[in-house]
Amino acid sequence: MDRLALTLLRLRHDLLRERDDRGDVPGWVLVVVMTAGLCAALYGVAKEQLNTMLTSALDQVK
């Protein structure tokens, strides 16, 4: 077979092949939960400073 036919057959095979696209779901869940926990902890500690910083930034835009 010529090179083009082999390339097309390979492409067709790759497209029709069943894939497991679930990925690493438990890993992503852990990343999301830990990120949410970190954000909640930071907000709990620095709530007033964050509010002041946001208000100051928004006042400069006005």
Q: Quick check: pTM over 0.75?
A: no
pLDDT at position 8, please? 87
Let me know: does 14 contact 21? Beta carbons within 8 Å. Answer: no
CA dihedral 39, 45, 48, 54 (to 10 degrees): -30
SS3 46: helix
Let me know: does 43 contact 50? Beta carbons within 8 Å. Answer: yes
> Domain map of the chain by residue range?
23-62
Mean pLDDT, consecutive 10-residue stretches, the chain (62 aa), reads 86 77 78 96 96 96 82
pLDDT at position 28, please? 87
How far is Cα 2 from Cα 8, in angstroms, rounded to an integer? Answer: 10
Residue listed under structure tokens 């438990």 = 26
